[in-house]
Amino acid sequence: MAIRLLIDTDPGIDDALALLLAFRSPECSVEAITTVAGNVGVERSTLNAFRILEAAKPSRAPVVGRGADKPLARSLVSAPHVHGDDGLGNLGELREADGSLRYPKPRLALSPLDGPGLILDTIDRFPAELVLVALGPLTNVALALQRDARRMALLRRVVIMGGAVGVPGNVTPAAEFNFYVDPEAAAQVLASGLPVELVPLDVTQSAILPRSVLEQRLAMCPDPLARFITDMTQRGFQFAEEIGEGGITLHDPVALGIALAPSLTHFESLHVAVECEGALTRGVSVADRRAIPVGRKAPATCRVARWLRTDAFLDLFLNRLCPASS
Ligand code: RIB
Ligand code: CA
The ligand 1 atom nearest the CA atom of 15: 8
Question: In whole angstroms, what is the distance from residue 95 CA to residue 83 CA?
Answer: 19
Residue ranges in the chain whose pLDDT is less than 70: 325-326
Residue 309, amino acid = R
User: Which pLDDT does position 277 carry in this prediction?
Assistant: 93
User: Which pLDDT does position 326 carry in this prediction?
Assistant: 46
Question: Catalytic site residue 266?
Answer: no
What separation in Å is there between the alpha carbon of 163 and the centre of ligand 1?
10
Alpha helices in the chain (DSSP H): 13-23, 42-56, 80-83, 115-125, 139-152, 177-181, 183-190, 201-204, 211-219, 224-242, 251-260, 310-321
How confident is the prediction for the chain on average, in pLDDT? Answer: 96
Domains of the chain, CATH where assigned: 3-321 (3.90.245.10)
Ligand 1: which residues within 6 Å by Cβ? 10, 12, 14-15, 38-39, 135-136, 161, 170, 176-178, 251-252
Q: pLDDT tens digits for 9-63?
A: 999 999 999 999 999 999 999 999 999 999 999 999 999 999 999 999 999 999 9
> Could you tell me if 1 and 37 are in contact, meaning their C-beta atoms sit under 8 angstroms apart?
no
Q: pLDDT tens digits for 180-206?
A: 999 999 999 999 999 999 999 999 999
User: Which pLDDT does position 149 carry in this prediction?
Assistant: 98
Please calculate the CA angle 273-15-1 and round it to the nearest 5 degrees. Answer: 85
- Rounded to a whole number of angstroms, the distance between the first and last alpha carbons of the chain is 27
> Could you tell me if 176 and 285 are in contact, meaning their C-beta atoms sit under 8 angstroms apart?
yes
User: Which pLDDT does position 325 carry in this prediction?
Assistant: 59
What separation in Å is there between the alpha carbon of 233 and the centre of ligand 2?
14
Instruction: Tally the C-alpha atoms within 13 A of residue 124's C-alpha that lie toward its C-beta.
Output: 8
| Phi, psi angle pair for 138, to nearest 5° | -90, 25
